[in-house]
Amino acid sequence: MFVFGNLFSGAAYVLKLLLDLYFWVIFARSILSWVRPDPFNPIVKTICMLVDPLTYRISKIIPTRIGMVDVAPFILMLIVIFLEKFLVGTLFDMGMRMK
């Protein structure tokens, strides 16, 4: 049974790393929205490709414009934090109980 415990603990750790990385990608995208970076830069294109589809969906569901500020990236960051606390915590607890 300890094998499955280690599997769940490892999956929780990898998921935490991925969600942390995605959080910082969202943060970078929000900083990039304040300045005018080169839209043909491959790094800028990749960041926009990773974040913009989800912020667009959030904006379609909830009105996210407050004046000139778009809070969709902030809402997406909250969703990532929730997923990290809920999913990673659950997987880690399941892994610890199976050891």
Which residue's entry shows tokens 């969703």? 79
Identify whether the C-beta of residue 32 lies closer than 8 Å to the C-beta of residue 45. no
Give the predicted TM-score (pTM) of the model.
0.89
C-alpha distances in Å from residue 67, one per residue of 28, 34, 64, 76: 21, 15, 10, 19
Residue-wise pLDDT tens digits, 8-31: 999 999 999 999 999 999 999 999
C-alpha distances in Å from residue 59, one per residue of 9, 24, 25, 51, 71: 35, 20, 18, 12, 9
Identify whether the C-beta of residue 4 lies closer than 8 Å to the C-beta of residue 98. yes
Residue-wise pLDDT tens digits, 25-58: 999 999 998 898 898 999 999 999 999 999 999 9
Using only the alpha carbons of the chain, give its radius of gyration: 17
Q: Which two tokens stand for residue 31?
A: 């900083």
